[in-house]
Structure 1
Amino acid sequence: MTSGFFEGIEKVRFEGVDSDNPLAFRHYNPDEVVLGKRMEDHLRFAVAWWHTFAWEGGDPFGGATFERPWHPQDDMGRAKLKADIAFEMFELLGQPFFCWHDADIRPEQGNFADNLRTLEEITDYIGEKMQDVGTKLLWGTANMFSHRRWMAGASTNPDPDVFAFAAATVKSCMDATHKLNGENYVLWGGREGYETLLNTDLKTELDHMGRFLNMVVDYKHKIGFKGTILVEPKPQEPSKHQYDYDAATCIGFLRKYGLEDEVKLNLEQGHAILAGHSFEHELAVATAEGMLGSIDMNRNDYQSGWDTDQFPNNTPEVALAYYYVLKAGGFTTGGTNFDSKLRRQSIDPDDLIAGHIGGMDVCARGLKAAAAMIEDGGLETELTNRYSGWETPAAQAMLESNLDDITARVLADAVNPDPRSGRQEKLENYVNRFV
């Protein structure tokens, strides 16, 4: 028996590029083989429980615009109704995965014991739904940023009692993720940062954050969790400055605290923009260091300075993102989570379906374009040619040399190199052939 929330909406099917059905896939065909693997297995799509079901349509200047049958989200009956409707949507879309924060799936109780009780109850219920529908958990995480207790951070909080509450909360969420056979566990430091340096001890807070993450890794091994621990970079918002600023900052942090072999990155397109980067930049940094774990695929409005979390609709950007994912060998435990939300004026149930259809189609087009570039090899050929001078014995020897010997060589050979074109316009034209 269904809830009736999606009444009149049929299971979404692939109908091809000529379809004019707004609730059909035009590009995403889960069984289409790309580079020897089914498209569904490449992309590993996941629905974000928070933006899709928990978000009520508010913004910094106005309250809720969505009127859902599970609102207000303050008791277990409505939490279970929300789960029922979530799995109905997963079935309609054929979604292989979903993701959650603890506060998305259970009502806030105000104390840890009752939060733990309701989390265990709702994850038992969700586990039954997973068995019936077949949708799996890509990752779980803890919301340690919404409640007022987290206003000065979680693991970085100056109050040791808040640190303890955070540790217990993460343990409970790791247990729940493990129980549901989740493939990853994510830590996003929504308020791990500062509003002003006037009241902030940076070294202490970073040391506490590093120790906290080491505890998480230790607990992963204790319970036999086989998934990947992920951290998610974001530069700001809500904090003025967050410690997990971008991919490079996170990699440096993980190395400082001895975690580089235990933790990988969950990268989000919207967060890359807030950091002043492109998404492919963040992916290139992570893949160069072997640290790519998973991605949140969304976009920000380039005319807005905040995290708008819109569904992706820019195929060239998405194609370059998947180009780096494919170059890294593709996802293992990770996948493509739609950390995306409807616009607050998009209030109908079918808007939820249409938003995901559009995002999935754009990702499918991007994946196929990226795969075509990989198969063609044009970008790799250009890279090989541009750096070919370093393949000579003399160039390799120089890297093991010193400034005195290199200077003597320059003087002896009268080296006066002519610059060579970077061919950027030609490379951009090359990419546009595929997208």
Structure 2
Amino acid sequence: MNTGFFDGISPVRYEGPDSTNPLAFRHYNPDEVIMGKRMEEHLRFAVAYWHSLAWEGGDPFGGHTFERPWHPQNDMGRAKLKADVAFEMFALLGQPFYCWHDADIRPEGATFAESQRNFEEIIDYFAGKMDAGGPRLLWGTANMFSHRRFMSGAATNPDPDVFAWAAATVKNCMDATQKLGGENYVLWGGREGYETLLNTDMGRELDHMGRFLNMVVEYKHKIGFKGQIMVEPKPQEPSKHQYDYDAATCYGFLQKYGLEGEVTLNLEQGHAILAGHSFEHEIATATSLGVFGSIDMNRNDYQSGWDTDQFPNNVPEVALAYYHILNAGGFTRGGTNFDAKLRRQSLDPQDLIAAHVGGMDVCARGFKAAVAMVADGGLQAALETRYCGWDTPEARTMLGGSLEQAAARVVSGDVDPQPRSGRQEMLENYVNRFV
């Protein structure tokens, strides 16, 4: 079925760096072989259904600006039209994956049972399109933050009936992800946090969230789901303080509830910025702790105080992110999901395609810069030089010994440390050679 929404737009092709075509790839060549794999297999791009198709262009100060033929999504006819447009867009872009929340793809019913029927019907509709050559599902997830029932959280809600509703919702979404052959399942608790401690029992809420996530893992094994279960850190917005603040906070949570061997992290650039971190910091934290899973690629407006979810355009930032991913072995089941949306003044279908083309090109440029840095080895060599003292027999013995033994080295007069340059500016200049 041709909806006509993208009439006049041809499938996006790689035309090389000299192309001036705004709807062509200049750097992303899916078939280019790098480090023994096609670029498509390295980057594993996914389109986010919610921002690309469900979002209506509103912001905290104004209503919708987009007038799409499937808005509002209040019946199955519009939901299927939106799916038709989505898979037309996927065919134009040629990306290998996509992602969804349940609320993105089905209309809300008057009852849970009606919402479930709507959801199952649209999942079957998706399955037919995927069987006909559509992209694979990188991950599914449940929207448990938009509806008013979740205003006080989902798994952390003070009302046990909301906890049960959330459990039923996640079960449906996991079943659908399994049915569509999804590579992963993500949980992002948009309101798993608090607005004020005056009405919050934090210890109880954390215990409930820990139990909920254990239930998810138990169900994963029961149904034989082979993908990763991932949680997505975010420090704030909408909650004043969310329990999944950043990668380190999430790891502490996973450890406390015995989940560090079962759950990994889906990290987002914009969320890292809200937490006061760089994206590479979050990735390096997760890889060093063994919980790296996947990424949402976007950026924030550094002059705004909220999560603006813009398409990436900063090659040096992207290059450093992929550098740490490559050093950790690259993606396994994860990938690069564009959790990014058009600006509310970008109204046209061409804008939607161009935004993804630009984002994919920026990622490709950053990825190739990261590959070149890995191959050159300059950053790794600098690290080895800076930490070489720890490779000596004396240092290894000290680490295996006691506090008194370490102190004795100093007292004996054998140790007189002198500061050494960290060479930050030289290393920043080194990175600039590649980006």
User: If the length of structure 1 is used for normalisation, what is the TM-score?
Assistant: 0.99
Q: Deviations over 1:135-167 (max 9, x none)?
A: 000000000000000000000000000000000
Residue of structure 2 in register with 1:74 after alignment: 74
d(CA) in 2 for partners of 1:278 and 1:246?
11
d(CA) in 1 for partners of 2:151 and 2:406?
55
Specify the SS of the correspondent of 2:412: helix
The letter for the 2-side match of 1:146 is: S
- State whether residues 280 and 324 of structure 1, in contact with CA within 8 Å, keep that contact through their aligned partners in structure 2: yes
d(CA) in 2 for partners of 1:376 and 1:110?
59
- State whether residues 232 and 268 of structure 2, in contact with CA within 8 Å, keep that contact through their aligned partners in structure 1: yes
Q: Aligned runs of 1:58-137 on 2, under 5 Å?
A: 58-137=58-137
d(CA) in 1 for partners of 2:299 and 2:407?
48
Specify the SS of the correspondent of 2:334: coil
d(CA) in 1 for partners of 2:310 and 2:290?
28
Q: Aligned runs of 1:105-184 on 2, under 5 Å?
A: 105-184=105-184
Residue of structure 2 in register with 1:345 after alignment: 345
Residue of structure 1 in register with 2:55 after alignment: 55
Residue of structure 2 in register with 1:191 after alignment: 191
d(CA) in 2 for partners of 1:413 and 1:32?
58
The letter for the 2-side match of 1:52 is: S
The letter for the 2-side match of 1:106 is: R
- State whether residues 96 and 136 of structure 1, in contact with CA within 8 Å, keep that contact through their aligned partners in structure 2: yes
Gaps of 5+ in 2: none
The letter for the 2-side match of 1:137 is: L
The letter for the 2-side match of 1:313 is: N
- State whether residues 90 and 134 of structure 2, in contact with CA within 8 Å, keep that contact through their aligned partners in structure 1: no
- State whether residues 185 and 229 of structure 2, in contact with CA within 8 Å, keep that contact through their aligned partners in structure 1: yes
CA RMSD of aligned residues (A): 0.7
Following TM superposition, by how much is the alpha carbon of 1:412 offset from its aligned partner in structure 2, in angstroms? 1.1
- State whether residues 191 and 238 of structure 1, in contact with CA within 8 Å, keep that contact through their aligned partners in structure 2: yes
The letter for the 1-side match of 2:202 is: L
Percent identity of paired positions between Structure 1 and Structure 2: 78
d(CA) in 2 for partners of 1:126 and 1:407?
65
Specify the SS of the correspondent of 2:433: helix
Residue of structure 1 in register with 2:284 after alignment: 284
The letter for the 2-side match of 1:143 is: N
Q: Structure 1 residues 30-39 or 96-105, which shifts more?
A: 30-39
Q: Aligned runs of 1:300-319 on 2, under 5 Å?
A: 300-319=300-319
Residue of structure 2 in register with 1:256 after alignment: 256
- State whether residues 12 and 25 of structure 2, in contact with CA within 8 Å, keep that contact through their aligned partners in structure 1: yes
Specify the SS of the correspondent of 1:434: coil
d(CA) in 1 for partners of 2:410 and 2:208?
50
Q: Deviations over 1:51-104 (max 9, x none)?
A: 000000000011110010101110000000000000000000001100000000
d(CA) in 1 for partners of 2:24 and 2:91?
14
- State whether residues 66 and 347 of structure 2, in contact with CA within 8 Å, keep that contact through their aligned partners in structure 1: yes
Specify the SS of the correspondent of 1:321: helix
Q: Structure 1 residues 405-414 or 342-351, which shifts more?
A: 405-414
Residue of structure 1 in register with 2:13 after alignment: 13
Residue of structure 2 in register with 1:393 after alignment: 393
Specify the SS of the correspondent of 1:171: helix
Following TM superposition, by how much is the alpha carbon of 1:34 offset from its aligned partner in structure 2, in angstroms? 1.4
Residue of structure 2 in register with 1:31 after alignment: 31
d(CA) in 1 for partners of 2:22 and 2:398?
60
Specify the SS of the correspondent of 1:46: strand
Residue of structure 2 in register with 1:334 after alignment: 334
Q: Structure 1 residues 401-410 or 301-310, which shifts more?
A: 401-410
- State whether residues 87 and 133 of structure 1, in contact with CA within 8 Å, keep that contact through their aligned partners in structure 2: no
The letter for the 2-side match of 1:306 is: W
Following TM superposition, by how much is the alpha carbon of 1:349 offset from its aligned partner in structure 2, in angstroms? 0.4
Following TM superposition, by how much is the alpha carbon of 1:368 offset from its aligned partner in structure 2, in angstroms? 0.2
Residue of structure 2 in register with 1:216 after alignment: 216
The letter for the 1-side match of 2:191 is: R
Gaps of 5+ in 1: none
Following TM superposition, by how much is the alpha carbon of 1:4 offset from its aligned partner in structure 2, in angstroms? 0.3
Residue of structure 2 in register with 1:420 after alignment: 420
Following TM superposition, by how much is the alpha carbon of 1:414 offset from its aligned partner in structure 2, in angstroms? 4.6
d(CA) in 2 for partners of 1:242 and 1:283?
19
Following TM superposition, by how much is the alpha carbon of 1:134 offset from its aligned partner in structure 2, in angstroms? 3.1
d(CA) in 2 for partners of 1:73 and 1:134?
22
Q: Aligned runs of 1:229-248 on 2, under 5 Å?
A: 229-248=229-248
Residue correspondences, number: 435
The letter for the 2-side match of 1:9 is: I
User: If the length of structure 2 is used for normalisation, what is the TM-score?
Assistant: 0.99
Residue of structure 2 in register with 1:200 after alignment: 200
Residue of structure 2 in register with 1:267 after alignment: 267
- State whether residues 46 and 138 of structure 2, in contact with CA within 8 Å, keep that contact through their aligned partners in structure 1: yes
Specify the SS of the correspondent of 2:337: strand
The letter for the 1-side match of 2:219 is: Y
The letter for the 1-side match of 2:358 is: G
Following TM superposition, by how much is the alpha carbon of 1:407 offset from its aligned partner in structure 2, in angstroms? 2.0
What stretches of structure 1 move > 6 A for 4+ residues in a row? none
Following TM superposition, by how much is the alpha carbon of 1:43 offset from its aligned partner in structure 2, in angstroms? 0.4
Q: Deviations over 1:321-349 (max 9, x none)?
A: 00011011111110000000000000000
d(CA) in 1 for partners of 2:60 and 2:107?
22
